[in-house]
Structure 1
């Protein structure tokens, strides 16, 4: 576990410099304004898990009290620079999605956008997000998932094959789907949206 965590940290540190340029192209093509719509639903004390370079920082409601965690110091450096440019107040700190450094029931909203796909243990990460949510709090997720459109599924299966061999330290999963895990963790799913041949999914769930 620790060796995988360190490998992932090193990988994302190396990716930090060029990450935004690559994501600008991918998000525009595949996700449109989904990140904006997701973050606009946050309320109160909000935690963004795997905040990365801070691509969501300017998208939250103004009264949001924002905290962000990421495994990669390199990513966090860019997130802090972005927050300063935008004039956004956010507590940005190093942390692992699978072992969040917060007490139980600390947040009104927990957000994870385009990041669970690269977490080694999705079940543990969702369990941790549930743990730090207060009762009645909301979990907001956006990710690429296993497509339902067969030609796209074949393509993503091929991409997964290549990633597993060329960039195994990234832990990128092109064929997963967090929604069943959210249900298994006992959260109440309030709303889901799936688009782009099933490749994109947005989930809103509430902790009972």
Structure 2
């Protein structure tokens, strides 16, 4: 019997997927070469400046989804996004939204408002287009148009009633007031989730203290110049009892992987603008946040956290 003949078809398929996932992960992480522009940047210092990294994100934006889609699916990142966002509720601020990798995972009816933010105009452009075409965006667009329609009907009815009271128009027909009250109730309830966009620096969030019920940040801490300051800003704008939801790249808890991350750090930062070996839990504690739930996967390099 051949070597492959010893395994069932299911085992071969699963083994193939694992091998493919590992290969894709390795290729995306280690094989891409720096562009001439990146090589030039690195000659002036070990790591690119914040403005250079912003340009990196702008340049990555158009093809970013195509580059990471299969990688995320095979490595279970999409499942973790979905699981994390089940915790989202109320008024939500999403930090470092990028190209909108989370928009399909917000549960219907979970949130009164979602503000998507990023400091890359290129990423925000892709994000806005994707939201407009998404189920979330379509529901919001329909609801807004319906609310506007109901508001116009309410104004027209109020004008009619005012004219009738002044004796300049016909009197009210039976049941009309009940219909109007029903319209007003529908108008107040019709918008399920408002959507907003904010181009901003996460180290200086332009909202007052205690503005949001939920803060979401997926794979953003690895990209900030001052991650602790950003976490402190998130904490500042979070309401009492609110939650900060994190899904992050970070340093592995396996020595061999830690060494590899350290040796490839320069290339990874120049390619993706991502410092992928930060100690995420240490940053969270330093920022004064409390960990409610945590989990690590992918050799400890992916951190799943619910904070308060």
TM-score for both structures, normalised by structure 1:
0.89
- Secondary structure (helix, strand or coil) at the match of 2:264 reads helix
- What displacement does 1:62 show? 2.1
| Contact 1:144 1:200 (C-alpha < 8 Å) held by counterparts | yes
Q: Indicate the residue corresponding to 1:193 in structure 2.
A: 295
- Secondary structure (helix, strand or coil) at the match of 2:244 reads strand
2-structure distance, mates of 1:178, 1:128: 16
Q: Indicate the residue corresponding to 2:82 in structure 1.
A: 36
Pick from 198, 209, 213 the counterpart of residue 108 of structure 1. Answer: 213
**Does 2:206 align with 1:158?**
no
2-structure distance, mates of 1:7, 1:103: 29
Q: Indicate the residue corresponding to 1:95 in structure 2.
A: 200
Give the strand-richer structure, 1 or 2. 1
2-structure distance, mates of 1:84, 1:171: 27
Gaps of 5+ in 2: 1-47, 141-194
The structure with more radius of gyration: 2
1-structure distance, mates of 2:117, 2:248: 17
Q: Indicate the residue corresponding to 1:81 in structure 2.
A: 129
Greater mean alpha carbon deviation, residues 185-194 or residues 4-13: 4-13
| Contact 1:192 1:203 (C-alpha < 8 Å) held by counterparts | yes
Pick from 114, 117, 137 the counterpart of residue 69 of structure 1. Answer: 117
Q: Indicate the residue corresponding to 1:6 in structure 2.
A: 51
| Contact 1:31 1:200 (C-alpha < 8 Å) held by counterparts | no
Q: Deviations over 1:98-141 (max 9, x none)?
A: 11111111100001001211111101110111111011110010
Number of residue pairs matched?
201
| Contact 1:144 1:201 (C-alpha < 8 Å) held by counterparts | yes
| Contact 2:253 2:300 (C-alpha < 8 Å) held by counterparts | yes
Gaps of 5+ in 1: none
Pick from 241, 248, 273 the counterpart of residue 143 of structure 1. Answer: 248
Greater mean alpha carbon deviation, residues 185-194 or residues 87-96: 87-96
- What displacement does 1:58 show? 1.7
Q: Indicate the residue corresponding to 1:23 in structure 2.
A: 68
| Contact 1:43 1:61 (C-alpha < 8 Å) held by counterparts | no
Greater mean alpha carbon deviation, residues 85-94 or residues 136-145: 85-94
Q: Indicate the residue corresponding to 1:46 in structure 2.
A: 92
Give the helix-richer structure, 1 or 2. 2
TM-score for both structures, normalised by structure 2:
0.62
- Secondary structure (helix, strand or coil) at the match of 2:213 reads strand
